Amino acid sequence: MRITVKTLGAAVVATTVALGTAACSGETGAAEGGSGEETLEVNFGYIPDFNGTSLLAIAEEQGMWEDAGIEANTPSFTNGPLQIQALGTGDLDFGYIGPGAFWLPASGEAKIVAMNTLGQADRVVGQPGIESMEDLRGKKVAVPEGTSGDMILTLALDAAGMTKDDIELVPMEPSAIVAALASGQVDGAGFWYPALATVKEQVPDLVEIASNKDFEDTMAFPTAFVASNDLVDDDPEKVDRVLAVLREAIEYRAENMDEAIAATAEYNDLAVEDVEGDAANVEILSLEDIDTMTEDGTVNDWLTVMGDYFVGAGKLESAVDPSEYYTGDLFLEAGM
């Protein structure tokens, strides 16, 4: 069972979640799930794209939440940093983030509790006629700060021997970037699919200047699920039950991509072909992949490289050991 909340503002999300929690609190404690255990209410944020939605869509469609004795309340967000904020205020228990927001758990604001996919959807784009990063010098470039769009822009600037001081950086929310690119109000952006597909409907000659693939030899771009620090410290049962559901959904998605795409499309009220295009920019990781890469240190290697990037980008003061914020041991234990 879920209560879906569609909203673009963190304040609206927080209020809605709080009201939903209050309304349900009188019944949840006495209810029991299909497992015979007491039903636990979980507030789980997501972003309405394939990376951010597919596991939640699968869990609902396949009855995984109910089987685990969980009532999932799933508010929609526009980016990861807003979810990290909601974790900190107690309005969310869990959330989803892209690679650009990994510096936030590394800085102690949350815990990464599960790896998800490897993202390949980020781009630096320019208006027709802008062919290179150098062509963006002195021009207006929009970016949602603290996101994977910010990350790809920073990497591309560095590769071109430039910094953000060489452009006119315009911080914007994702929905505003779509409008600004489509109307020509900005010259370029650090952004992502599937939103860029919407822009291309109005600006078909939009130029893709840089992408994740340009940097995959030196950096992975994982997406992940996060939980509040207090929840990880104080409620191991809730964490274990949710991680068990995520594990089951990860395994199902890897084996049933067509069904996962269809479930995501229905969950977000999108056309299946649009979700197929979005999923084409995702590298799916199987449950075995994630378990193995957690055990053999691959995930920690990813996080170490990303941490060095965030230090250089000024997001972190110094490198942080991944074991401080990636609870891979809990993810593995949830499968035992």
Can you give the three-state secondary structure of 201-266, one letter per residue? HHCCCCEEEEEHHHHCCCCCCEEEEEECHHHHHHCHHHHHHHHHHHHHHHHHHHHCHHHHHHHHHH
Q: Read off the pLDDT band of 36 (50, 70, 90).
A: low
| pLDDT tens sequence across 222-235 | 999 999 999 999 99
pLDDT of the residue at 37 = 75
pTM attached to this predicted model: 0.83
pLDDT > 90? residue 49 = yes
pLDDT > 60? residue 83 = yes
Single-letter amino acid code for the residue at 257: M
pLDDT > 70? residue 9 = no
Q: Which two tokens stand for residue 159?
A: 């590769």
In whole numbers, what is the pLDDT of the chain averaged over residues? 90
> Do residues 69 and 266 touch, judged by C-beta distance below 8 A?
no
| pLDDT tens sequence across 190-245 | 999 989 999 999 999 999 999 999 998 889 999 999 999 999 999 999 999 999 99
